[in-house]
Structure 1
Amino acid sequence: MAAANNDSLVLETPSEVVDARPGSRLMWPVEFVASVLLVAVVGLLLIGVVSRYVLSLPIVWIDEAASISFLWLAMLGAAIAIDRNEHLRLTLFLGLMPERARAFVSTLALVIVAAVLMALIMPAVEYVEEEWYVTSAALNIPMSFRASALVVGLVLMFALAVGHAVRESTLPNLAGAVALVAAFGLLGWHFSPFFLSLGYLNILIFLVCVVALCLLAGVPIAFCFGMGTIAFILFSTHVPVIVLIGRIDEGMSSLILLSVPVFVLLGCVLDATGMGKAIVEFMASLLGHVKAGMSYVLLGSLFLVSGISGSKVSDMATVAPALFPEMKRRGHKPREMIALLATGAAMADTVPPSIVLIVLGSVAGVSIAGLFTSGFVIAMVLLVVLAVLARIKAARENMEGVRRAPLAVVGKALVVAAPALVLPFLIRGAVGGGVATATEVSTIAVLYAIVIGIVLYGGISLRKFYSMLVETAALSGAILLILGTASAMAWALTQTGFANQLAGYMTNLPGGWFSFMLVSIVVFLVLGCVLEGLPAIVLMAPIMFPIAARLGINDIHYSMVVVTAMNIGLMAPPIGIGFYIACKIGDVSPDEAMSAIWPYLGALVVGLLLIAAIPALSTAYL
């Protein structure tokens, strides 16, 4: 993952050392509460699993209590991410600006974040007041106790954003940025009668151009969506902003999404205990002696490790350090290794427990069990096409001194890796077989990983475990805030009626369903480059999935196509965010790796076209 301030070309993510900012010390009570809430969520879900499956006595209030804790965790985590500068944002274009312009645009991004938060605070207070008259079904308490998390989180984030802006900016830059944002607001208010008459053009102005400009300026993705949607609602409709608060709440609050922080925590446990490394070492002992063997090991390890962590960044960070030294010794060029690492991670993102699949299931109403079962098969298809290309590329590999590992060595590696190898198959089998939900399985997997990690893989210190809880809260908050604001933006888009007109046009494309599939591939390739997976899914799923259903396309088949296309876009330079993360992990210049990745992306595109053209690859095993 990339440090927030060290590389202007990458998406900011949270696994680096936290900035030693003055504000960070003041955040420790918030971090502590968020950590307690995360433990509470996992504990409540575990109690629910035991009561339901072991004691056959379901506890009816568990889901409500977990949901309340979850929203508080998400909002406090989002505030922690503001403090740590860990909200996901595109910094590619900032890095291309002169230093003076970059300083001003960075200040402008902070002011935009503060403006979005300020615009949402009072509507959130109204939303809490309205929720006081709604009582929860099981706990019989006002829902304001839950909705108050939105106000607390927004106020905390606003204070932190203002603090960052004041602390990190010069006075002229800060004054200029505030004046620019204020001028935008005044012009929008003044010309609102004109915007009201433009109809669908407002979608282009606010939901495309404003969002795109914010994205180019390095505004965190969640706040790009927030700014575009708020401007659209305020200046071109008569809808009150309080409606957006309800959409944000709904976008963050699906019970399926409870598994997101739990799987993020699982990825942290995987990294801390070395379970992923054990899997890599077993694969190396099994296949390392054959031509292209280390490439096969890298791909196979990504495939297996992704079944534990649910995070492609965690996958790459686990696999690359263990394999790259030996691959270099055998003559693999660093740029080729990065290309294989990046595209292998794209391949593995359909392997359960993919967080993208979980979010897709929540947003589009697609069976999580079906997505997990199909995702495993689709990843196998992509694995095969990458392995074939890797074998072709390995024609001149230096195999001097390479020997088959003795059976005793393979057996020992298998014994060490076996407890870790069980976990991905446990997750896939339980969810895919309908034994338990993704949320229930995630909690069991975390408990299993922690116990096995402590007993067999060296354990986790309390200090390390606490830092993992805080890191999980921050990343989960950043992810869930994106989902909330993207849901609000998707709702605004669908309410215009544009989605229905688009559906009519797409349904009548020449070539029928396959033409629509090709258009979908292009759309999600582009969105994958720019937005990363989760926001693209939340934005487009409400529009595209009904069209696919109208054309008779199976929802699982369509899901596999769009997720694969999105993952390829994520790794496609010069904009694809995941490509730069892979370069950072492998310590290779993006300029050097860029020329090598195209054949691998081409192989993935071949696999994608096969998946799109042959529905049985996605549906035969359901």
Structure 2
Amino acid sequence: MMLIGMLILFVVFLIFGVPVFYTLGILSIGYLYFLDLPMQVIPQRMVAGTDSFVLLAIPFFVLAGELMNSAGITNRIFNFSRNIIGHIKGGLGHVNVLASIIFSGMSGSALADSAGLGLVEVKAMVDDGWQKKDAAAITVASATIGPIIPPSIPLVIYGVIAEQSIGKLFLGGAIPGLLLGGMMMLIIYSIAGRKKFPLQQRSSLKNMARSLYRAIPALLMPVFILAVIVLGIASPTEAGLVAVVYSLILGGLVYRELTFSRLLLALKNTAKMTATIMIIVSVANLLGWIITIERAADALANFAVSLTGSPTLLLLAVNLLLLIVGCFMESISALLIFTPLLLPALTSVGVDPVHFGVVAVLNLMIGLVTPPLGMGVYVMSGVANLPPESIFRSAAIYYIPLFATLIMVTVFPSLVTWLPDLLM
């Protein structure tokens, strides 16, 4: 009964806009107080929640993405993509998606992708004759690919909670991420004529070769990161540190655009984002401890098994829950709260934990473009200087590839598990 009351209060707090950190803290402290449990549990569990070597990968990957953005890598990636596919029907819309696929392998964050590439992409598309709302909608939709394709901050968080291999999760997200990008390009191609999207002229082979040459060091980075993890050369945390060093060398010595002031700004942004994530991780661990001692996960698992023994049906039901959660809560908080609850129920009917991790992150990414919260839309609103409502309406068409990819990945687990099983 206590947990049911906490769940009701949790929903009420979210509806009234109470920040997740305060919501989790109030509920957890209230539970300890009413059951007369020792309050020293609070700092103990909060510290334990952040005392993980794997979690060090988060600030490293965030910093690497910030450095790549500060060093002008986004412009080189965008120019390379424009020279390769800008002439296809849909023009810079395809370029936007391809650039997000490439850059997402460096930032690991949908919000970083929106903020990093967003300004470059929206400006280039508007200059080319696009309506700003269409440019912003494509940019925020394509940014959802970031946390699916490795490296991915949400998948690192999930891996820590679920005690799963980060390397397998990174590999598991590769095919779904590419599938999502391909389906977005199909949608852009199909509506290009009706919406009169401007078309780029075909680039010469010389321009293609020049843009490829300039972008090669940036293009190699995600491949290099994934390779050192898969081959067992480095852990995800060590790979994050390698990414930072690579970014410093690339920005400071190769491209020579990483100034001291830009470096300080990158460090400042990394500190803010890391602090935000880790404070939520710490207080969510306290709530996770409460869920464990109340045996809520076991009760939910037994209830789920009594309803259906089908992994697909149960996973579809979980999809519906996470889609609703994603509308009101950012992905890190949602993973921290719901993974300990849902994973035992899913594994009890045979769902692969790596499969569920990718499905869960994909669900929560759809929330980035879904009202009322839609954090990705609000970030893009600031970047493009547009009202969020305008972007929400223009982005609605991109629910088609998002939901189609989600259903395919849910029903066909091999889309996630084939590559990790093959290579690891």
> TM-score category by the smaller chain?
over 0.9
Specify which of 19, 30, 41 is matched with residue 231 of structure 1.
30
2:118 pairs, out of 310, 320, 324, with 320
Q: What is the deviation of 1:398? A: 5.1
> Is there any run of 5+ residues in structure 1 with no aligned partner, and where?
1-199
What do residues 579-609 of structure 1 show as CA deviations (whole Å, max 9, x unaligned)?
Answer: 2222222222112222222221132111100
Larger RCO (alpha carbons 8 Å, 6+ apart)? 2
2:189 maps to 391
1:570 to 368, 377, 383: 368
Partner of 1:119: none
The alignment status of 1:491 with 2:289, answered yes or no, reads yes
**Larger Rg belongs to:** 1
Aligned to 1:3: none
CA 1:297–1:495 in 2, change beyond 3 Å: closer, same or farther? same
Q: Distance in 2 between matches of 1:525 and 1:319?
A: 26
Where 1:610 maps in the other structure, the secondary structure is: helix
State the secondary structure of the residue aligned to 1:620.
helix
**Residue of structure 1 aligned with 2:157, choices 351, 354, 359:** 359
**Does residue 335 in structure 1 map to residue 133 in structure 2?**
yes
Cα distance in 2 for residues equivalent to 1:320 and 1:464: 18
Q: 1:326: Cα distance to partner? A: 4.2
CA shift for structure 1 position 477: 1.4
Q: Hey, what's the Cα distance between the residues in 2 that align with 1:400 and 1:340?
A: 14
Question: 1:433 is matched by which residue type in structure 2?
Answer: L
| Deviation digits for residues 457-512 of structure 1 (CA, Å, limit 9, x no counterpart) | 23433343234323322321121010110111122123212222111111222362
1:612 is the counterpart of 2:410: yes
- Secondary structure of residue in 1 paired with 2:243: helix
Q: Distance in 2 between matches of 1:218 and 1:599?
A: 28
Verify: 1:524 aligned to 2:346, yes or no. no
Equivalent-residue separation in structure 1 for 2:40 and 2:307 (angstroms): 38
Q: For structure 1, which segment, 384-393 or 210-219, has the greater mean C-alpha deviation from structure 2 after superposition?
A: 210-219
Could you tell me whether the CA contact under 8 Å between 1:276 and 1:305 is conserved in 2? Answer: yes
* 1:203 counterpart = 2:9: no
- Work out which of the residue numbers 425, 432, 437 in structure 1 matches 2:230: 432
Could you tell which deviates more after superposition, 241-250 or 395-404? 395-404
Normalised to the residue count of structure 1, the TM-score between the two structures is 0.65
1:406 to 2:190 alignment: no
- Structure 1 match to 2:95: 297
Q: Which residue of 2 aligns with 1:533?
A: 331
Q: CA separation of 1:269/1:416 partners in 2, compared to 1, >3 Å: closer, same or farther?
A: same
Could you tell me which residue of structure 1 aligns to residue 244 of structure 2? 446
Query: Larger deviation: 358-367 or 592-601?
Result: 592-601
With normalisation by structure 2, the TM-score equals 0.93
Q: For 1:27-426, what aligned pairs fall within 5 Å after superposition?
A: 200=1, 202-205=2-5, 207-235=6-34, 237-328=35-126, 332-396=130-194, 402-426=200-224
Q: Which one-letter code corresponds to 1:295 in the other structure?
A: G
State whether residues 291 and 297 of structure 2, in contact with CA within 8 Å, keep that contact through their aligned partners in structure 1. Answer: yes
Structure 1 residue 364 displacement after superposition: 0.5
Secondary structure (helix, strand or coil) at the match of 2:350 reads coil
Opposite residue 162 of structure 2, the aligned amino acid is A
CA shift, 1:219, in A, is: 3.9
Superposed displacement of residue 568, structure 1: 0.6
Q: What RMSD in Å do the two structures reach over aligned CA positions?
A: 1.9
Cα distance in 2, alignment partners of residues 317 and 325 from structure 1: 13
Distance 1:260 1:211 in 2: 27
SS in 2 for 1:385: helix
Compared CA separation, residues 218 and 385, structure 1 to 2 (3 A): same
Partner of 1:621: helix, strand, or coil? helix
Report the AA paired with residue 403 of structure 1: Q
Report how far residue 318 of structure 1 moved: 2.7
1:385-441 per-residue CA deviation (whole Å, 9 max, x = no partner) reads 211111111124658784211111111111111111111111122223333111111
After superposition, the C-alpha distances for 1:310-365 in whole angstroms (9 at most, x for unaligned) are 22222122323323244335554333322222221112211111110111111101
Name the SS of the counterpart of 2:419 in structure 1: coil
Deviation of the 1:233 alpha carbon: 1.5
Which residue matches 1:476?
274
- In 1, distance between residues paired with 2:206 and 2:220? 21
Distance 2:414 2:217 in 1: 33
